[in-house]
Chains A and B, each alone.
Chain A
Amino acid sequence: MEFLLSIRPLLAIAVSLAAAGLILCLHQRPNLRDAVSVAAAVLKFLIVISMAPLVLAGGTLELSLFEILPGVDFAFRADALGMVFATVSSLLWIFAALYSIGYMRSLNEHAQTRFFAAFAVSLSAAVGGAFAANLFTLVIFYEVLSLVTYPLVYHKEDSESWAGSRRYAVYLIGASKSFLLAALALTYQLAGSLDFLPQGLLAGSGAEGWLLSAVYLCYLAGFAKAAVMPFHAWLPAAMVAPTPVSALLHAVAVVKMGVFCMLRVIFHVIGVDLMGSLGLGIATAYLVSFTIVMASVYALTRDDLKARLAYSTVSQLSYIILGAVLLTPMAAIGGITHIAAHAFSKITLFFCAGSIYCASHRRNISDLSGIGRRLPWTMAAFFIGSLGMIGIPPSGGFVSKWYLVLGSAGGQEMVFLTVLLASALLNAAYFLPVTYTAFFEAEKPGTPGLVAMQDVREIPMVAVPLLITALLSLALGLNPGFFVELAQLVMRGAGL
């Protein structure tokens, strides 16, 4: 293992933070302001990807700034797991930034400067979390992400967003103030440190099993961004946010932050050995299996497209955790790869929902009859995104689910294999009808308040980014090597 002292992890975080400052300064020059967003996104991705060769070679880039508490530094480390999350969120920010510009302008949204500034800070927080070297640093960025996405959820400032943002804050802050705080305090008390260790920070603590299990459960509840039931209700509530926020933040950065934190806890705080010997892995697997199926059932009943996507996200996030807690190398590779696969597909689906809304002001699936002929590119991309969700080749979702199925078939519990297959069917059941409605149903007479169907047409600034992400989700299926290799590196480190 090669350690390189490098400032690059910090730079990757700082780029979007600096961009947020610039965005605020340029509030009277919208073109320049939006150019800053895109430029920062590109720069951020380049910095992140520049670290990839070393990480792929088994090394890490580290930077320790100063000591916060005895045994706890404010420190960054770019390792394989962090690279997965950082690459996905910084790459997708580029397209989300382009898409946001088209979306916000075509709807003439208010407070665009606040929107773009908060968006940029969110990305700093996400990448900060990805590169955090210990729980303390991670939790700082975790909380920053909760706080800075609040104005984005509340963006519309109407009664609906007032209620949604309240639920968002109550769930996320409430969970972290109660469970996460307790988990951190206990961990610090037990281990005297909050560092991530390859074999698990608490592995050598010698604490009793029930106490370790309690700490783990506190983490599982405290990182509510992972949206494991019953801590999922904030995610559908957050759909009151403008669609670019739902797309990048509530399908990629925020929710993946939650899942990422759980992976850190599973692999680097509790450790694979304890997860297995205390039975925590199998217990969590049952819990997330329940989430996978139940969320899909919820999704099936939702007519609001974004709500359906939100419940689908709840379900898919639990795939990632399921992959990790099965504690087999194949399943874990599947879980980690699914971070990327789900991100590319789900952002496409949300982009499509936003594109439909911009072009036609339609939100309900039942109003979309025949819209595929007016928005062919959007609905084609939606179809591609759906493939990823169901796990049909050649999408990225196929690769990750393939590993997941292999991993769970290799384990002793066949029930998880059943869950995965049942969920794939459910996914098909709630995604394919959307495409069917859009392309094959006849146009209905116009509903008052909606744009008449004959006036609906593609908005290029919105349609281009979503086509790119759709293609990327296919490219990932054809060439998943990058993320699979990173996942293998995580496994090797964790001793699986």
Chain B
Amino acid sequence: MNGLPVLSILILLPVAGAAVVPFLRGRDAVRWFTLLVLLADFLLAVWILAAFDPASAAMQFREARIWVPALNMGYRLGIDGISVWFVLLTTLLGWICVLASWRAIAERVKEFMTCLLAIQAMMVGVFCALDLVLFYVLWEVMLVPMYLIIGIWGGGNRIYAAFKFFLYTLAGSLLFLVGLLALYFAGGRTFDMLALMAAEYPFRLQVWVFLAFLVAFAVKVPMVPVHTWLPDAHVQAPTAGSIILAGVLLKMGAYGFLRFSLPMLPDASQYLAPLMITLSAAAIVYGGLLALAQNDIKKLIAYSSVSHMGFVTLGLFTFEVNGMSGAVIQMFNHGISTGALFLFVGLIYERTHSREIAAYGGMIKAVPVFGILFAAFLLASMAVPGTNGFIGEILVLAGTFGVSGWAGTAGVLGALIGAAYLLGLYRQMLLGPVKVPEGSVMQDLRHRELACAAPLLLFVFWFGLYPKPFLSILQPSLDHLMTQIVPTGTAQ
């Protein structure tokens, strides 16, 4: 496409920005500069979406440069109808994070913004990578800025949370590396993901590699029982950290299933689908029950993520078109609505310095605009018809009911529990007699904060009522994926 390496530009723009940041003077200059760089990156992503050919299932905007010829390792980029949306989501949340940290981060602003720029480059890189080593390197290195964001700008128990986050994901990543090398040797000694997808692997190898990948991806999603790092990380992370964590990093795990497990290991995926469906159903219900029991706003939303991401893995392993497209739209939706919820919790926290749900009451009287927008995102999160969440949920459930009645029932139960804790949260905090923690300065949303919420709100209703653009770009790639996951016949 006119020869310009747009994906490289998309990845390198924040890197270049990060290189300039140390030379700027003044905190505001750093903030404005980062904002502009990430906005430019977002606009580029929008342009890519506009230029994307929706009829094609092939990888588009491809770039390939051989890096280490002896190992057939390369700098290979490309996006399809699935990853293009995650590139958009990542770049959208990027500049929102800058705005959300405008006043919340007052110390070491330069370092913070550098971290934001770096992590954005890496995240976009992961979604664009078509080379296994490139993917793995970015996937790993991404941990570092996130570790720093939690460990330096986090809350009181930040070091513990940062370590826990790092250790969990690192442990998973090591198994990912083992599985990846196994594929390299079995798949014709190449790291080209497209070639690896086309290759066929013996069943036993598939199962072992699948299990290795499962650990890595399950930690990221996170699936029960390896979810325990998430609440700690969310509670301690600054707002921007939570938004990135919930909005993008959790998607990496599900994206891993989509890019690796399903197309490369189709027999093992089919064989182990009952396990995956069971784990997903458990995550949906158990995550929901945990959320129901929380008295900390951030923990509640963190556990709700476990539950909502359970719908994603559930949909993916139905091997059914409704379920899978529901899963992908649910991934995107979760990024939007949970990102927004963490943003809003951050806005409250800035004003009151308390995360205890019981410390609040009747806030809608003091901050009506905040209250109404918060309600909109909560409703999106609990998947009320007309919001984006409902589209994902209904598709996943329709797909699931076609495969497993009890898993569908578990999904419905999870949706019911979701309504209970989200509405309970709203009722406690926003309605009833007015009650705010001592020393709070209640002020309604500022223009900067509205600017963060507006695009997210747009997506909530756009995808809730008119998801067709999303689905039509997604469909060819998903259809292609469906042909890849037809078992090769080596299953026993």
A joins B in a complex: yes
Q: Which residues of A contact B (CB under 8 A)?
A: 66-70, 74, 136, 139-140, 142-144, 147, 154, 157, 162, 166, 169, 173-174, 177-178, 181-182, 184-186, 188-189
19 further interface pairs, Cβ-Cβ under 8 Å (given A144-B386, A182-B408, A185-B394) = A66-B465, A67-B466, A68-B391, A68-B465, A69-B391, A69-B394, A136-B385, A142-B385, A147-B384, A162-B432, A177-B382, A177-B419, A178-B415, A182-B397, A182-B401, A184-B394, A185-B397, A185-B401, A188-B394
Contacts A68-B466, A173-B423 given; does A143 touch B415 at CB 8 Å? no
Whether A143 pairs with B384 at a CB distance below 8 angstroms is yes
Q: Which residues of B contact A147 (CB under 8 A)?
A: 379, 384
Q: Which of A68, A177, A186 contacts B416 (CB 8 A)?
A: A177
* Interface assignment of B395: CB less than 8 Å from any CB of chain A: yes
Whether B416 pairs with A174 at a CB distance below 8 angstroms is yes
Q: Which positions 6-52 of chain B face chain A at CB distance < 8 Å?
A: none
Q: Which residues of B contact A166 (CB under 8 A)?
A: 427
Q: Which residues of A contact B413 (CB under 8 A)?
A: 178
A142 to B384, CA, bound (A): 10
The 3 closest A-B pairs by CB, nearest first: A185-B397, A189-B398, A177-B419
Whether A189 pairs with B386 at a CB distance below 8 angstroms is no
Whether A140 pairs with B416 at a CB distance below 8 angstroms is no
Whether A143 pairs with B385 at a CB distance below 8 angstroms is yes
A177 to B432, CA, bound (A): 24
A67 to B471, CA, bound (A): 11
Contacts A67-B468, A69-B391, A181-B415 given; does A139 touch B401 at CB 8 Å? no
A321 to B382, CA, bound (A): 30
Q: Which residues of B contact A70 (CB under 8 A)?
A: 471
* Interface assignment of B402: CB less than 8 Å from any CB of chain A: yes
A162 to B431, CA, bound (A): 9
Q: Which positions 400-429 of chain B face chain A at CB distance < 8 Å?
A: 400-402, 408-409, 412-413, 415-416, 418-420, 423, 427
A147 to B419, CA, bound (A): 12
A97 to B379, CA, bound (A): 29
Whether B465 pairs with A74 at a CB distance below 8 angstroms is yes
Q: Which residues of A contact B423 (CB under 8 A)?
A: 169, 173
Q: Which residues of A contact B409 (CB under 8 A)?
A: 182
Q: Which chain A residue has the least Cβ–Cβ distance from B468?
A: A67
Q: Which residues of B contact A (CB under 8 A)?
A: 322, 379, 382, 384-386, 391, 393-395, 397-402, 408-409, 412-413, 415-416, 418-420, 423, 427, 431-432, 465-468, 471
A selection of 24 A-B contacts at a CB cut-off of 8 Å is: A68-B467, A74-B465, A74-B466, A136-B385, A139-B385, A140-B385, A143-B384, A143-B385, A147-B379, A147-B384, A154-B431, A166-B427, A169-B423, A177-B382, A177-B416, A177-B418, A178-B412, A181-B412, A182-B408, A182-B412, A185-B394, A185-B408, A186-B408, A188-B398
A140 to B415, CA, bound (A): 17
**Helix, strand, loop or mixed for chain B's interface?**
helix
A177 to B417, CA, bound (A): 9
Whether B393 pairs with A69 at a CB distance below 8 angstroms is no
Q: Which residues of B contact A136 (CB under 8 A)?
A: 385
Q: Which chain A residue has the least Cβ–Cβ distance from B403?
A: A189
A372 to B413, CA, bound (A): 52
A216 to B50, CA, bound (A): 43
Whether B419 pairs with A68 at a CB distance below 8 angstroms is no
Whether A186 pairs with B401 at a CB distance below 8 angstroms is yes
Q: Which chain B residue has the least Cβ–Cβ distance from A136?
A: B385
Q: Which residues of B contact A189 (CB under 8 A)?
A: 322, 398-399, 401-402
Q: Which residues of B contact A74 (CB under 8 A)?
A: 465-466
A117 to B400, CA, bound (A): 40
A108 to B400, CA, bound (A): 53
Q: Which chain B residue has the least Cβ–Cβ distance from A178?
A: B416
Q: Which of A143, A154, A169, A186 contacts B386 (CB 8 A)?
A: A143
Q: Which residues of B contact A69 (CB under 8 A)?
A: 391, 394-395, 467, 471
A147 to B382, CA, bound (A): 13
Q: Write the nearest CB–CB distance from A151 to chain B, whole angstroms.
A: 9
Whether A177 pairs with B415 at a CB distance below 8 angstroms is yes
Q: Which of B397, B427, B471 contacts A181 (CB 8 A)?
A: B397
A186 to B401, CA, bound (A): 7
Q: Write the nearest CB–CB distance from A68 to chain B, whole angstroms.
A: 6
Q: Which residues of A contact B415 (CB under 8 A)?
A: 177-178, 181
Q: Which residues of A contact B402 (CB under 8 A)?
A: 189
Q: Write the nearest CB–CB distance from A117 to chain B, whole angstroms.
A: 12
Q: Which residues of A contact B395 (CB under 8 A)?
A: 69
Q: Which residues of B contact A182 (CB under 8 A)?
A: 397, 401, 408-409, 412
Q: Which residues of A contact B432 (CB under 8 A)?
A: 157, 162
Q: Which residues of A contact B471 (CB under 8 A)?
A: 69-70
Q: Write the nearest CB–CB distance from B439 to chain A, whole angstroms.
A: 26
Q: Which residues of B contact A178 (CB under 8 A)?
A: 412-413, 415-416
